[in-house]
Every structure is written in structure tokens, then in C-alpha cells.
């Protein structure tokens, strides 16, 4: 983590300031966003790895069950043994999907919790202060840009859109 003092969020008046405080602020926000993206990707990849392991375990268990049933069939003499083998396979067919989906659901919920914890990090501590500062700058920029859409600026000269709407001539 960065050991230097965190710059305070620039004021909306500092929006046009291209000084070091504003550039440090922007680089810190970029670093936070990139860090969040990478941490979230790592969480996603760990989740996918766990899902693949669950699938592999289920496939391995199905293989073991079928190999055992095949061995029993070779040594079976009666109808009762055949029904026992079929009953054992049917039980595994009914139990395995429930266990599989329970594990998949648990993994999905754990992934969501971990991702939400990562996003929550943006709203707490230094990162939260930076985000609030960035949002206030964005709001100030949007508010000041609204004047241009209305045809007004800080000077008293009406803009072309306003003059067209009032049917004035465009000649200065």
C-alpha cells in the first residue's frame, strides 16, 4: 500500500487545476480501481477453480460407483444381486446431484460475499474518502456543464443556441 500521505480530495474549484494534488488524486483513484478489478478477477478465478474441482470430484465418484457396479455384475449369480446393484446406482443417481448443487450454490454464495467485501472496500477508509471526493468533483463538473447546455456561460453574451431560440440574428 502507499505509505505517503494521501492528498485530500480537491475542491470543485480545483477541477481545472492540473497541479500535483489533483494528479495524485487521479492516480490514486486509478490505482484503487485497477486493484479492485484485479482482486475481483482473482476471486472469480478462484471460484471457477473450486467449481472445476467440485465437478472433478463428482465425476470421479460416478466413475468409482460405476466401476464397483461393473465388478459386482461380473460376480453376480442371482436376480436379487442384480436388483441390489441397480438400487445402489439409483441411490447414487439421486443423491449425487443434490450434493453437487449444494456445493455449487455454496461456492457461488462465497464468491458473491467475497466480491461484495472487495466492493465495500471502496466505500471505507482512504478509498472511501477518495471516492467521495471524486463524486463531488464529478457532481460539480456536471452542474457547471449544465450552464452550457442552457446556452449560458459566465459572460453576458448569449450563446448561438439561445439566440436561435429567440429568433435573433446570428451576426454578432
pLDDT tens profile 73-92: 888 778 888 899 999 999 99
Note the pLDDT of residue 9.
Answer: 45
Q: What percent of the chain has pLDDT over 90?
A: 37
* 3-class secondary structure, 126: helix
Q: Taking a C-beta distance cutoff of 8 angstroms, is the pair 44, 111 a contact?
A: yes
Q: Taking a C-beta distance cutoff of 8 angstroms, is the pair 145, 19 a contact?
A: no
133-151: b or e for each residue (b if 16 or more CB lie within 10 Å)?
Answer: bbeebeebeeeeeeeeeee
Note the pLDDT of residue 18.
Answer: 47
Note the pLDDT of residue 20.
Answer: 60
Q: Under the phi-then-psi rule, with left for phi > 0, alpha for psi from -120 to 50, and beta for the rest, what region is 55? A: alpha
**Cα 78–chain centre separation:** 58
- pLDDT value at 58 more than 60: yes
For residue 63, how many other CB atoms are within 10 A of its CB?
A: 10
What pTM was estimated for this model as a whole?
Answer: 0.58
Amino acid at each position: 500500500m502507499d505509505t505517503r500521505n494521501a492528498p485530500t480530495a480537491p475542491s470543485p474549484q480545483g477541477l481545472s487545476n492540473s497541479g500535483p494534488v489533483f494528479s495524485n488524486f487521479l492516480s490514486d483513484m486509478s490505482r484503487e480501481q485497477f486493484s479492485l478489478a484485479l482482486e475481483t478477477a482473482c476471486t472469480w478465478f478462484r471460484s471457477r477453480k473450486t467449481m472445476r474441482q467440485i465437478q472433478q470430484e463428482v465425476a470421479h465418484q460416478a466413475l468409482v460407483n460405476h466401476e464397483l457396479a461393473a465388478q459386482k455384475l461380473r460376480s453376480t449369480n442371482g436376480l436379487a444381486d442384480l436388483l441390489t446393484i441397480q438400487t445402489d446406482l439409483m441411490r447414487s443417481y439421486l443423491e449425487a446431484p443434490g450434493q453437487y448443487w449444494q456445493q455449487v450454490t455454496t461456492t457461488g454464495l462465497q464468491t458473491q460475499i467475497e466480491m461484495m467485501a472487495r466492493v465495500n472496500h471502496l466505500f471505507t477508509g482512504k478509498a472511501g474518502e477518495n471516492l467521495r471526493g471524486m463524486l463531488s468533483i464529478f457532481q460539480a463538473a456536471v452542474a457547471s456543464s449544465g450552464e452550457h447546455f442552457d446556452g449560458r456561460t459566465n459572460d453576458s453574451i448569449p450563446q448561438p443556441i439561445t439566440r436561435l431560440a429567440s429568433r435573433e440574428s446570428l451576426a454578432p
